[in-house]
Structure 1
Amino acid sequence: MRFSDLILLGGLALASSLASAIDHGRIGPTYPIKEPDMLEWIEKRVAAKVASGEALRYQQQQTEKIERKLLNPAPLQSVTKATKGRTAYYDPTFVVDENVADDRGRILVAAGTTINPLDRVGLSRPLIFFDARDTSQVAFAKRFLDSRAGLAKPILVGGSYFDLMKLWDTPVYFDQQSALIRKLGIKHVPAIVVQEGKRLRIDEIAL
């Protein structure tokens, strides 16, 4: 680079620094910069909604929505009404994948061990799965419970367990997230599950 170029660059740099340091005065009116306090704004909005009753109405609507969902769960889509009888069996036997040890490292159950939970805990009461939205299934389930002197567990795949529990004055359950019917392989209802030896027998009943 030539010496003349260095002088030119130096002059430009000096001019730039001087320009940034010059006070150009006040061109127009100035105002202090003030950003809104977000928390204060939210508090005012909430206070206004509380005062108008909107917050209470919203809270009541949400409470009612949750109650409806809890008392009347969405029906399971993976199961339909039985059109013909079918019998199947479920064997709960499984093989332990890895050693099960206690906190001292002592092996309680060795890998490769075959376990059938029914050897320890049996199914003390039959299970009856049905859709409470279908009056014929409700009537069938009631007859089955009465024939067992109430010693059976009614499990819904649709309808309100709460309404049925009040009507029958007995505990009624709902198969949340299809956990049981998926494990047992139930495709159609009503279905009755009983223990038969070391297996569970599933009878799907066509009404």
Structure 2
Amino acid sequence: MKKMSLAGPTRFSSRFLAVTILHLSFSSAWAGEDDFFLKEILKQQQPNMNRQLPDWLKTKPMHLNPSLEKLLKEGNKMMVQGGTSLEEDMNGKRSLAKAIQGRWIFVSFGMPTHELKAAAEEAAATKSILVFRGVEKDQNTGLITKKLLPIVKNMKPVPGAVIDPTLFTRFNVTAVPTMIETDAEGKTRSARGLPGFKWLSKQEPGDHGQRGPIYGILEPDMIEEIQRRAANIDWDKQKTTAIANFWKNQEEFNLRPAEKNKERSVDMTIVSTQDIFHPDGRLIIKKGDRINPQAMMPMRHAYIVFDATSQKQVAIAKKAGDEILKKGKPVIYLFSKIDKQRGWDNYNETGDFINGPLYKLNKSIVDRFKLEVLPTVIEGEGDHVVAKELASGEVH
């Protein structure tokens, strides 16, 4: 069968287009997916050397009351739409660049539970937002929801809540509860305690003083706390540790050594699970049609899979790769295991020896080519794919 060249202008037949669509639609790997394999391999190959957020900044996964979760999201969305943006003024202090309209009740877990519940009930009744300044010392952001949920879960509607130290700064909130309301003109009414928005809304703009019991703010300013904790993190050490531990966390594939040379054909056929239509509406492929993508999009690379902890297999992989390279076909080397104790040293030594691109084997390739023994060479030959299992003797 004549192979299609993509070097020059190409006429895309309806069947070729169908294969292309299937290529994008199916999650399983197949022979024409050299790029897919390489992307997956590269993605898994690179250690994450970016700075990682410490655990205290990560919200722990929780099963939330659906209405609470929804309102928490709406509360955060409202804050973003309101246009709050953090800036530095001439004195280096934080300020908000744009006026925002809304109702907020500033609270803290330093308040007695009954006072916090009263604030939440007021927020629920007036569709205002509970605002926390940050998280308690040495705690993570998930603590807010975890502690607030038992208080608000039976309220209808459930009040929205956010962590926003910038609002505390903007309105100079130094005690809780503090109620603040801004109108469309940017005029502000505020009071410490819980006099209620029904009363506050009828007052003239300005500060109406203390109208009930007030308490100190337990949580430190979130932004200042982030800066303080981040300053104490040794990022270079974190990066070094991440690199050192990279291989300890990698998946291995314990495939047994090949006992004899064996060649087997791999069925690359795809069965369409749905009708495929051309953009102009014409039916290209019917549900249930069988297609061999290798016949239309031949595999360009040869893949050599081996165990990097076995000197014999490394040598076989090297010899097999050299023979394929002489034919002008590019080779990708994949290792199923590596010496985790020696890690990068083993990886670099192996890469230098085979003198070619070296990557970790992934499950997509194991499953797609039904790998059971190593070393195995995978090549496209005409309209089919062949897997050659090599014993620890001569390479054929």
Structure 2 residue aligned with 1:55? 233
Judged with a 3 Å threshold, the aligned counterparts in structure 2 of structure 1 residues 199 and 138 are, in CA distance, closer, same or farther, namely same
Structure 1 residue aligned with 2:138? none
- SS of 1:55's equivalent? coil
2:277 matched to 1:101? yes
Contact 2:254–2:337 (CA<8 Å) still a contact in 1? Answer: no
Pick from 154, 158, 167 the counterpart of residue 333 of structure 2: 154
- For residues 59-74 of structure 1, the aligned pairs below 5 Å read 59-68=235-244, 74=250
Please state how far the C-alpha of 1:120 moved relative to its aligned partner.
0.9
**Which is greater in Rg?**
1
Structure 1 residue aligned with 2:310? 134
Which is helix-richer, 1 or 2? 1
Which consecutive residues of structure 2, in runs of 5 or more, have no partner in the other structure? 1-212, 339-343
Distance 1:114 1:141 in 2: 34
Judged with a 3 Å threshold, the aligned counterparts in structure 2 of structure 1 residues 39 and 73 are, in CA distance, closer, same or farther, namely same
Pick from 369, 372, 387 the counterpart of residue 202 of structure 1: 387
Distance 1:84 1:38 in 2: 68
Please state how far the C-alpha of 1:102 moved relative to its aligned partner.
4.0
Structure 2 residue aligned with 1:175? 361
Judged with a 3 Å threshold, the aligned counterparts in structure 2 of structure 1 residues 85 and 169 are, in CA distance, closer, same or farther, namely closer
- SS of 1:108's equivalent? strand
Contact 1:133–1:158 (CA<8 Å) still a contact in 2? Answer: yes
Contact 1:131–1:156 (CA<8 Å) still a contact in 2? Answer: yes
Give per-residue Cα distances to partners, 1:33-59, cap 9 Å, x unaligned: 21323435x734752662xxx402xx3
Give me the CA root mean square deviation.
3.1
2:299 matched to 1:118? no
Judged with a 3 Å threshold, the aligned counterparts in structure 2 of structure 1 residues 65 and 81 are, in CA distance, closer, same or farther, namely farther
Distance 2:254 2:322 in 1: 28
Give the aligned residue type for 1:165.
Answer: G
Please state how far the C-alpha of 1:104 moved relative to its aligned partner.
4.7
Structure 2 residue aligned with 1:24? none
Contact 2:308–2:337 (CA<8 Å) still a contact in 1? Answer: yes
Pick from 171, 181, 184 the counterpart of residue 369 of structure 2: 184
Distance 1:48 1:193 in 2: 51
Distance 2:384 2:321 in 1: 22
Judged with a 3 Å threshold, the aligned counterparts in structure 2 of structure 1 residues 167 and 204 are, in CA distance, closer, same or farther, namely closer
Contact 1:118–1:198 (CA<8 Å) still a contact in 2? Answer: yes
Percent identity reads: 18
Highest RCO, 1 vs 2 (Cα 8 Å, sep ≥ 6)? 1
Distance 1:63 1:204 in 2: 39
Contact 2:304–2:334 (CA<8 Å) still a contact in 1? Answer: yes
- For residues 15-94 of structure 1, the aligned pairs below 5 Å read 33-40=215-222, 43-44=224-225, 46-47=227-228, 50=231, 54-56=232-234, 59-68=235-244, 74-94=250-270
Distance 2:233 2:295 in 1: 56
- SS of 2:264's equivalent? strand
Contact 1:95–1:114 (CA<8 Å) still a contact in 2? Answer: yes
Query: Number of paired residues?
Result: 170
Distance 2:216 2:248 in 1: 52
- SS of 1:173's equivalent? strand
How high is the TM-score relative to the length of structure 1? 0.66
Distance 1:186 1:85 in 2: 14
How high is the TM-score relative to the length of structure 2? 0.37
